[in-house]
Copies of this chain bind each other. A is one copy, B any other.
Amino acid sequence: MVLDPTASSPDLTRAICDIPSVSGDERSLADAVEEAARTAGHLEVIRHGNTIVARTNLGRAQRVVIAGHIDTVPVNDNLPVRDVDIDGEPHIRGRGTVDMKAGVAVQLKLAVEIADPAVDITWMWYDNEEVEASKNGLGLLAADRPDLFEADFAILGEPTAGQVEGGCNGTLRAVVRTHGVRAHSARSWVGENAIHGAAPILTRLAEYRAREIQVEGLGYREGLNAVRIGGGVAGNVIPDLCEVEVNYRFAPSKTIADAEAHVRSVLAGFEIEITDASDGARPGLDAPIAQEFLRAVGAEARPKYGWTDVARFSALGVPAVNYGPGDPHLAHHDEERVPVSQIVDVERGLRAWLTAS
C-alpha cells in the first residue's frame, strides 16, 4: 500500500485510516509511512521496529519533536471510512479518524512538504500506544535512542479539536481492602461482613468533591473514583474480604508521593495498597517557544486531563503539548469521526508556525 503525501490532508487521512493498524498489527502502515517519508530528500529516516523517525538536520537554533501514534483500538465495522455530513458539516467517519490518524496525516504531509522549516524537526510516528505501556513505541525508542528526544519543545498530535492542550494530569491507582470474618449466612452474627465494612469507603468517595488546581495558568480538574469493586465467597457465606480499586487523577503540580498521601488521607483508617502511578506533565506553556507556537496556530491553551505520552517528554525535561484534529470524547467510539475543517485548520496552524521566518 502506497501513501501519497502530496494529497490533501483529508484525502491522506482517508488513505491512512483505510490501512487498518490495530495495536500489534501496524507493520503495513509503518511500511507505507516510511516509504512516504523516504520520498523527501531533506529527511533523515530511521526505523525502530514499527516506529518511524524522520528528521531535518539544518543546524537550526531550536528543535521540536512532532509525534503521533499510528495504532488504533480494534475496528468495529467502521472501516473503510465514510464521508458523512453532520449538521451540514463534512466529516470523515471511521476507526482512527479521531485517535489519531487525521493528526498523523497532517504531520506526514508537512514532514514531506516543508523542506526548509524555521526550526529543526524530529517527526515520530510510533506503534502500540493503545495497549500496555511496556509495548509503547515511543517509550521503547526513548530507551534505545534517548538522543532522538533532545528538543526544545514537543507536540503530540492527540485529538484536541484543534485546540492546544497542555500537560496532563497524573494518575494513581490503589486497592482499598476491608477484612471480616467468614461465616454461614444463616448465622451471620457469628461473622463480620467485609462488604458492609466497605460502606464508609463508598460514602467518602461519593461525597468527595474534586478540586481544580491552577498550574501555569491552566486549571486542572482532578477526580477520585472507584473503578472496580469486588467481594463475596458464595451465596450463603458472609464475605471476609472486599476490595475497592480507586483511581485518583491529580494535577501535574503534584508528585506521586503527594497523590498517595492525599488518597491515604481521604481513605484514612483503611488498608490501602498503591498498585500503579504515573506522574502528570506540567503544561510547559511558559517557555517562549511554546508562547510562539500558541500565537502562530492561533489557538487557546487548555488543560489536558487524560494521561498522554506528553508526560514522557515532560519527564525528559521537554515541554510538550497536544494539538490535533478531532473531538477527544469520540476517541475509541464506534461513531468516531473528524470534521474535515479541523484537519485543514490544524494543517494550516502547524504549517504557519513551522514556516514562520
Chain B residues in 8 Å Cβ range of A223: 185-189
The verdict on A210 contacting B239 (CB below 8 Å), with A199-B199, A205-B196, A226-B195 known, is no
A91 near B: Cβ within 8 Å? no
Chain B residues contacting A227 (CB-CB under 8 Å) are: 185, 195, 232-239
In the bound complex, how far is the Cα of B186 from the Cα of A169, in angstroms? 8
Could you give, for residues 226-260 of chain A, a 1 whenever the CB lies within 8 Å of some chain B CB and a 0 otherwise?
A: 11111111111111001011010100000000000
Question: What 0/1 pattern do residues 169 to 208 of A give for CB contact below 8 A with B?
Answer: 1010100000000001111111001011111001101100
- Contacts A196-B206, A198-B202, A210-B188 given; indicate if A242 touches B225 (C-beta within 8 A): no
**Min CB gap A6→B, angstroms:** 36
| Copy count, this protein chain | 2
Do A235 and B245 contact each other (CB < 8 Å), given the known contacts A199-B205, A305-B186? yes
- Complex CA distance for A205 and B173, rounded to whole angstroms: 27
Residues of B within 8 A of A189 (CB): 210, 221, 223
Q: Chain B residue with minimal CB distance to A191? A: B225
Closest B residue to A243 by beta carbon equals B229
Q: Mark A130-169, 1 if CB is under 8 A from B, else 0.
A: 0000000000000000000000000000000000000001
Residue contact A228 to B232, C-beta cutoff 8 Å: yes
Q: How long is the Cα–Cα vector from A229 to B226 in the complex, in angstroms?
A: 13
Contacts of A169 in B (CB 8 A): 186
Known contacts A195-B202, A206-B199; A185/B247 CB under 8 A: yes
Q: Which residue of B lies closest to A230 (CB)?
A: B230
- Shortest C-beta distance, A315 to chain B (Å), equals 18
- Measured CB to CB, the closest approach of chain B to A258, in angstroms, equals 18
Given the known interface contacts A228-B231, A235-B228, A238-B227, the answer about A306 and B186 at a Cβ–Cβ threshold of 8 Å is yes
Does A270 reach chain B (CB closer than 8 Å)?
A: no
The complex places the Cα of A247 from the Cα of B205 at a distance, in Å, of 26
On whether the beta carbons of A238 and B225 are closer than 8 Å, the reply is: yes
Contacts of A234 in B (CB 8 A): 227
Task: Tell whether A229 pairs with B229 under 8 Å between CB atoms, given A205-B196, A235-B245, A306-B186.
Answer: yes
Contact B206 A235 (CB under 8 A): no
Our pick among B203, B229, B232, B305 for the contact of A203 (Cβ within 8 Å) is: B203
The answer to whether B247 and A236 have CB atoms under 8 Å apart is: yes
Chain B's closest residue to A199 (CB) is B202
Whether A276 is near chain B, meaning CB under 8 Å from some CB there, is yes
* A172 vs chain B, min Cβ distance (A): 11
Instruction: Report how far A195 CA is from B187 CA in the complex, Å.
Output: 28
B196, B226, B249: the one contacting A226 at CB < 8 Å is B196
Contacts of A353 in B (CB 8 A): none
CA A227 – CA B205 in complex, angstroms?
A: 22
Q: Closest CB-CB distance, A289 to chain B, in whole Å?
A: 27
Check A226–B193 contact: CB distance below 8 A. yes
> Beyond A227-B239, A228-B231, A228-B232, is A196–B202 a contact (Cβ under 8 Å)?
yes
- Shortest beta-carbon contacts, A-B, top 3: A228-B232, A199-B202, A186-B306
CB pairs A–B below 8 angstroms (29 shown): A169-B186, A171-B185, A184-B306, A185-B223, A185-B227, A186-B223, A186-B307, A187-B305, A187-B306, A188-B249, A193-B206, A193-B225, A195-B229, A196-B225, A197-B206, A199-B199, A199-B202, A202-B202, A203-B203, A225-B238, A226-B231, A226-B239, A227-B234, A227-B238, A228-B231, A229-B231, A229-B232, A230-B231, A235-B276
